[in-house]
């Protein structure tokens, strides 16, 4: 990623300030009492606003966070080495804002809107405040439109709707980012002419990287570019090398850009990767600002840190254009402890969670979704009729299989019904496996899940399921293309489509039997 010179900070912020008419007749000035660790204390700014931009010497800006009786605590967005005790600072009268617009699509920016991809200045005049109050209940409507991730395990058992907040949680290196990236890549189908004909609105994506290694973010950018997803995606990057204030405001910047699309009647998806690192950055700032530490040294308002961010995700009422902002926050757990402080905070804010289990991941079940601990509180409201029909019993079958699997390990004398459940469960586990960066279209998911839940796979060895699936799609496309076209058009399994599905699966089963002999 391209480096940004310190003097570019002021250029961006000055541009932001020039877009406003200040309501301060005479700029109030103050004096720096002390500075260190990207935090400064200022005397004299008696009428300072919370979240206001403060101008320091040497083209450095900061944001007021602590408004105390005799001083203002301020976090710095630039290098603190340019600020020293006794420096004169002045109010701007404006809260921190960032540029928004279609011009940001395909770009890598920092939380203040500065380009980091070396592709020049972003020409947009529109600005929105980084912190905004979430809309009330009357301005919203229920979540009822699917946001398809392309992952069979999620779209069938833990469906996500446009406007929902679904937490992705698990230990490090269990595939959390991979799930989010697949969801972004799969939105490519919403930008096609076929989707437009069917009335599917495009989804614009924002990926917010907080506290990640810069090399990791560069790999994410390269992969999204390779898959053609950067055309409708913006990456907001506050990597591990950036100061804590930037990591703290990064998710709010992502929400602001998502709200730009939502408020104009469009749909957006924002991934916060990850909020546990934002909480650590906020804890650092709070302790430096001398705010009282609470549990695990987090400040008392750490719940509000995430609730005011995630409350901004919503599906707007038709009166306001019907746009949506979907949030996929990511939280990293320590040794699978979902009952820790930050994980329980975010679980209680979101409408469900996708829990990724290390044991499943290392056993080769990827995505490593634990069906028992994962849930979507929107449920079938965010599914198509076709998916509801094929996935209705899937979650229960998987949960029963996990119970029986543990039981069967202790004895081999099982009745036929139990053996049949184990056989079906083994095939379902294999069907729900999916390689990374290969999201599936809705009609393909419905076809393979119909085959699995209706028993068409039970007579084949479980280690041949991947081969069965790989051959099924080209077979249907070639011999029964109307199945895919009708499923895509109606999003439902009509009697006609079901008849064609049975015919196709029986014919394919006969052919596949010969290939595995």
Q: Which residues are catalytic?
A: 377
**52-56/88-95 β-pairing:** antiparallel
Let me know: does 62 contact 56? Beta carbons within 8 Å: yes
Q: What is the dihedral of CA 379, 426, 336, 206, to 10 degrees?
A: -50
The C-alpha R_g of the chain, in whole angstroms, comes to: 26
Backbone phi and psi for residue 513, each to the nearest 5 degrees, phi listed first: -60, -40
Distance between CA 371 and CA 257 in Å, rounded?
33
Which residues, 6 or more positions from 111, have their beta carbon under 8 angstroms from its beta carbon? Answer: 98, 130, 236, 238, 246, 249, 250, 252, 253
Q: Cβ(130)–Cβ(96) under 8 Å?
A: yes
Print the SS3 string covering 153-190: HHHHHCCCECCCECEEEECCCCCHHHHHHHHHHHHHHH
Q: Give the C-alpha separation, 125 to 104, whole Å.
A: 12
Question: Is there a contact between 38 and 79 (Cβ–Cβ < 8 Å)?
Answer: no
Q: What is the DSSP string of 446-464?
A: HHHHHHHHTTTTTTS-GGG
CA 396, chain centre distance (Å): 27
Distances (CA, A) of 19 to 58, 126, 174, 214, 285: 22, 8, 44, 32, 29
Taking the C-alpha atoms of residue 265 and residue 245, their distance in angstroms, rounded to an integer, is 31
Angle CA 371–373–375, to nearest 5: 75
Give yes or no for a contact between 117 and 355, defined as CB atoms under 8 angstroms apart: no
């Amino acid at each position: 990623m391209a480096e940004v010179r310190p003097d570019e900070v002021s250029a961006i912020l000055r541009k932001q300030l020039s877009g406003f008419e200040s309501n301060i007749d005479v700029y109030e000035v103050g004096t720096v009492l002390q500075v260190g660790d990207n935090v400064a204390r200022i005397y004299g700014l008696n009428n300072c606003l919370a979240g206001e931009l403060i101008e320091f010497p040497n083209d450095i800006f900061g944001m007021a966070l602590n408004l105390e009786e005799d001083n203002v605590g301020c976090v710095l967005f630039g290098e603190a080495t340019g600020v020293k005790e006794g420096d004169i600072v002045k109010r701007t009268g404006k809260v921190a804002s960032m540029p928004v617009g279609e011009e940001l699509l395909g770009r890598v920016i920092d939380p203040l809107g500065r380009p980091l991809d070396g592709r020049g200045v972003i020409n947009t005049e529109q600005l929105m405040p980084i912190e905004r109050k979430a809309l009330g209940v009357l301005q919203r409507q229920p979540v009822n439109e699917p946001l398809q991730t392309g992952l069979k395990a999620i779209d069938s058992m833990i469906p996500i709707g446009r406007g929902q907040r679904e937490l992705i949680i698990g230990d490090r290196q269990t595939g959390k980012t991979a799930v989010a990236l697949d969801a972004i890549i799969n939105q490519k189908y919403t930008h096609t002419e076929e989707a437009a004909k069917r009335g599917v609105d495009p989804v614009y994506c924002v990926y917010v990287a907080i506290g990640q290694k810069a090399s990791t973010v560069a790999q994410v950018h390269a992969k999204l570019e390779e898959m053609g997803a950067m055309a409708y995606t913006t990456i907001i990057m506050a990597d591990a090398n950036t100061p804590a204030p930037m990591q703290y405001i990064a998710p709010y910047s992502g929400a602001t850009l998502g709200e730009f699309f939502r408020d104009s009647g469009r749909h957006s998806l924002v991934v916060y990767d990850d909020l546990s690192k934002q909480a650590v950055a906020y804890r650092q700032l709070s302790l430096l600002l001398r705010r009282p530490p609470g549990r695990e040294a987090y400040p008392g308002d750490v719940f509000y840190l995430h609730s005011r961010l995630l409350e901004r995700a919503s599906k707007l009422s038709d009166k306001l254009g019907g746009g949506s902002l979907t949030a996929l926050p990511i939280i990293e757990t320590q040794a699978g402890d979902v009952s820790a402080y930050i994980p329980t905070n975010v679980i209680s804010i979101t409408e469900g969670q996708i829990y990724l289990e290390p044991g499943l991941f290392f056993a080769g079940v990827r995505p490593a979704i634990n069906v028992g601990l994962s849930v979507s509180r929107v449920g079938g409201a965010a599914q198509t009729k076709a998916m509801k029909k094929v996935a209705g019993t899937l979650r229960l079958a998987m949960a029963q299989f996990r119970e029986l699997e543990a039981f069967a390990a202790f004895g081999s004398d099982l009745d036929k019904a139990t053996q049949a459940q184990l056989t079906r469960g083994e095939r379902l586990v294999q069907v729900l496996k999916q390689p990374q960066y290969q999201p599936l279209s809705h009609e393909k998911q419905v076809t393979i899940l119909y085959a699995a839940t209706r028993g068409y796979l039970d007579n084949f060895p479980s280690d041949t399921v991947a081969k069965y699936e790989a051959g099924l799609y080209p077979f249907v496309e070639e011999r029964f293309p109307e199945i895919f076209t009708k499923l895509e058009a109606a999003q439902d399994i009509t009697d006609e489509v079901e008849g064609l599905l049975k015919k196709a699966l029986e014919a394919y089963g006969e052919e596949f039997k010969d290939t595995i002999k």
